[in-house]
Amino acid sequence: MASLFEPLQGDSTNDAAAAGRSRAFSAARIGGTVALTLLISALLVFAVELIVRGSLSQTLLFFQQPFRPGWTTVLLFAFLLIFLDALLGRAYHALLLVAPLALLLAFIGHQKSHYLGDPLYPTDFLYARQILELAPLLVGQRPLMAVATLAGAVASLVLLVMAWKFWRRHIPALSWRARAARLALALPALVFFGSIMDYATFSWARDRLQIIPMMWDQKENYDSNGFAIAFALNVPMAKVSAPQGYSAKAIEAIAQPHTALPVLPAERPDIIIVMNESFWDPTLLPGVTITPDPIPTVRAIQSGHIFSPEFGGMTANVEFEALTGFSNAFLPYGSIPYQQYVRRSLPSLATFLKSEGYATRAFHPFEGWFWNRAPVYEAFGFERFMSVENLPPLAARGPLASDMALTDEIIREADAIAQPFFLFAVTLQNHGPYAANRYIDTMHEVSGAPSAESQGAILSYTEGVADGDKSLARLLEWARQRERPTVIAMFGDHLPPLGPAYVETGFMKDNVASRKAPLPEMSAQHETPLVIWSNRSGPVTDLGSISPALLPLHVLKAAGISHPYYTGFLGEISERYRVIDRNMLVSPADEATPNWSRAKTIDPVIRDFRLLQYDMIFGKRHGKKTFFPTPKEAPGTT
């Protein structure tokens, strides 16, 4: 096979005509190899985009204009193949490495987009272990597909190994001169491409190539720039740049909270927060009838809604907001704070309450490494994390630990604590996917679903929701019998991944929720029920829909506790905005401000929120003494 820059084996005569023909033949061979490499790259990029987009027309549209990022990607892949060929020592050998990897990533990206609505990010591989642990659930839902996928993967691997061996045996090795020529051509080009991938800095070359990082809208980022370049643009995601104007003086200039130190009532209330997996009201599905009501307890005392920043997954991001009072809206799109940014102790509800003499416990009936919870909870100030490693065996309902068993364990732990306590629990029972016949003893009937598959999924999900509602009723009944003041909050982290059931019933246009849409559509697709209840005063009412970051404000208010940040600073925020989403701000009067982060001027309240959050997570913590002070008085005083 012809090789790029392979020296021509011509005769040694001094005949000028022969030498000219030799040079012409060599140039033609080099040109042919370059053209073939570009053709291979173009076909590979086309295949990647076709898999990711799932649409031939959209893929063709991506390549229609000559200077779109599609053709830049073709050049990038060509240089990568040439570079790797030089290292491997054989022409086109790198294709056996690059093509399978690129096509596999494209397939994974398509699957993620189909089920969760987000494209594939480099940081997704930080939680690959989570996906493997949940594989039995996925296999149980579609066993035939799982078997076919496994068989296809094994066959592909065998063919790849055979092709690799064939190439090594039958394709001549490149000379050192040809390998050096390849490196001289490809290495500077790859360095150039690497230098323009830092989206945080302006690049003239990137601008000329029409590569526009759209980090505020990753769907558009991937649609416009293509899978490979958008994926590369997200590699620097772990680095969070300081907001414009960040300094000690900027933090000092933030309005001082009304409360200089935390103020707690003489009888300190116990606090329990339960984040219930995928808890939502399935009766909202159009045309679907569910009997009996699966969530009568929540419906009777509902305080409002949580406006979740996620859909169908990414539970840890919702949890991050609810525990810290910080917002994902100020972090890179697609990032996972639990796995990327929590590297030291961080202010949270647990940190604060622990400093006030509270016992702090976290519960989740799964492995402690999941979402990196064990080190994160320690950084958040939880004294103990009760995971599957140290929880007693919990009875299962369906394939996972039941909500009721977890609730009983929370009650058992609470009854054994003498001091005031803060308990935070994340349930597991109603985690997707929702295969039909998940439960053998269903208590509900579902009718009106367009297909048997959707009806089975809705019924399985409904049973789990109903169990979550019953578990809340059990917790409330226990709290009513207590003499100590007790505040209980329960909310869903996001809507469930019901997939085709949403489309078939007309609830959504796609299997996944929108990330950018008018407020009514965003509310319908991102709101989950919220309950905040006290055994002294009953349920908190009329909260409306709030971001998880504002949950600490309302929980502490229900407990009669004041704090410079959690009720002071967040209280000021809540007067201006009830939802802080990366694509939309929503006022208490339901006035939406879309695309706020791209505006030339940002509301000073939001600017200060972002500055203070950066200061506490990544910066020098200039605002710690003002907004997160350490108590000067001994626990128990007021």
Backbone angles phi, psi at 13, to 5 degrees: -75, 165
**Whole-angstrom distance, CA of residue 358 vs CA of residue 418:** 10
The reported pLDDT for the residue numbered 19 is 52
- Under DSSP, the state recorded for 569 is I
208-212, 409-413, 538-542, 560-564, range with the lowest pLDDT: 208-212
- Per-residue CA distances from 227 to 62, 100, 239 (Å): 11, 15, 21
| Closest among 561, 542, 546, 438 to 491, alpha carbons compared | 546
Question: What mean pLDDT do residues 503-523 have?
Answer: 90
Which helix (H) or strand (E) segment holds residue 307: the answer is strand 304-307
Q: Give the whole-angstrom CA distance, residue 611 versus residue 215.
A: 19
Question: Which has the minimum average pLDDT: 105-109, 148-152, 365-369?
Answer: 148-152
Per-residue model confidence as pLDDT tens digits over 269-289: 999 999 999 999 999 999 999
Distance CA(11)–CA(188), nearest Å, equals: 34
User: Rounded CA gap, 458 and 436, in Å?
Assistant: 8
Q: Determine the pLDDT at residue 599.
A: 85
Q: Any idea of the CA torsion for 300, 414, 384, 389, to the nearest 10 degrees?
A: -80
Distances from the Cα of 553 to the Cαs of 317, 377, 390, 560, in angstroms? 18, 20, 31, 11
Neighbours of 486 (CB within 10 A): 23
How would you class 188 by CB atoms within 10 Å of its CB: exposed for 0-12, middle for 13-18, buried for 19 or more? exposed
| Confidence at 135, pLDDT banded by 50, 70, 90 | low
What is the average pLDDT across 145-155?
70
What pLDDT was estimated at residue 8?
Answer: 41
pLDDT bin (cut points 50, 70, 90) of residue 4 is very low
Of 38-52, 163-177, 311-325, 572-586, the least confident:
163-177
Half-sphere exposure of 532 (CA within 13 A, CB side): 23
**3 state SS of 595:** coil
CATH topology of domain 267-562: Alkaline Phosphatase, subunit A (3.40.720)
Per-residue pLDDT at 138 exceeds 70: no
Q: How far apart are CA 291 and CA 466, in angstroms?
A: 11
515 φ/ψ angles, rounded to the nearest 5 degrees:
-100, -25
This model's pTM is above 0.85: no
- Tell me phi and psi for residue 294, to 5 degrees: -75, -20
Q: Report residue 427 as tokens.
A: 């349930």
Which of 89-93, 392-396, 587-591 is predicted least confidently? Answer: 89-93
435 SS3 class: coil
pLDDT of amino acid 26: 54
pLDDT higher than threshold 50 for residue 2 = no
| Percentage of residues of the chain with pLDDT beyond 90 | 50
Question: What does the pLDDT read at residue 443?
Answer: 93
**pLDDT tens per residue, range 609-622:** 999 999 999 999 99
Give the residue with greater pLDDT, 27 vs 560: 560
Q: What is the pLDDT of residue 632?
A: 57
For residues 609 and 334, give the distance between their C-alpha atoms in angstroms, rounded to a whole number. Answer: 20
**Predicted local confidence at residue 528, as pLDDT:** 97
- 573-325-408 Cα angle (round to 5): 130
* Cα 170 to chain centroid, rounded: 46
pLDDT digits (tens, 9 = 90+) for 312-357: 888 999 999 999 999 999 998 878 898 888 888 999 999 999 999 9
401: part of which helix (H) or strand (E)? Answer: strand 400-401
Give the per-residue pLDDT at 480.
96
Ranges of each domain in the chain: 27-238, 267-562
Q: What is the pLDDT of residue 9?
A: 46
Residue 145 has pLDDT above 80, yes or no: no
Confidence of residue 18 (pLDDT cuts 50, 70, 90): low
What pLDDT, on the 0 to 100 scale, is given for residue 630? 81
Q: In the predicted model, is pLDDT for residue 49 greater than 50?
A: yes
Is pLDDT of 563 > 90?
Answer: yes
pLDDT in tens, 438-482: 999 899 999 998 898 899 999 999 999 999 999 999 999 999 999
Tokens of 158: 């065998």
Q: Strand 445-447 and strand 289-291: pairing?
A: antiparallel
Q: What are phi and psi of 342, to 5 degrees?
A: -85, 95
Nearest to 131 by CA among 310, 291, 302, 371: 371
pLDDT at 516 over 90: no
- Longest C-alpha distance within the chain, in Å? 108
Tell whether the model's pLDDT for residue 638 goes beyond 50: no
Q: Is the peptide bond before 433 cis (omega within 30 degrees of 0)?
A: yes
What is the pLDDT, as a whole number, of residue 380?
96
Residue with tokens 């000219």: 20
Per-residue pLDDT tens for 257-270? 888 889 999 999 99
Three-state secondary structure call for residue 380: helix
The alpha carbon of 108 is separated from its chain's Cα centroid by a whole number of angstroms, namely 15
- Written as six digits, the tokens of 376 are 């994160």
Inter-residue long-range contacts of 501-505, CB under 8 Å, 24+ positions, other chains counted: 501/285, 501/449, 501/454, 501/457, 501/458, 502/285, 504/449, 504/450, 504/451, 504/454, 505/285, 505/286, 505/287, 505/288, 505/449, 505/450, 505/454
Does 7 have pLDDT greater than 50? no
d(CA 332, CA 174): 44
The H or E element spanning position 528 is strand 527-534
Which of 499 and 550 is assigned the larger pLDDT? Answer: 550
Residue 545, classed as helix, strand or coil, is: strand
221-226 long-range contacts (CB < 8 A, ≥24 apart) are: 221/119, 222/52, 222/119, 223/53, 223/58, 224/69, 225/69, 226/45, 226/48, 226/49, 226/62, 226/69, 226/70, 226/73
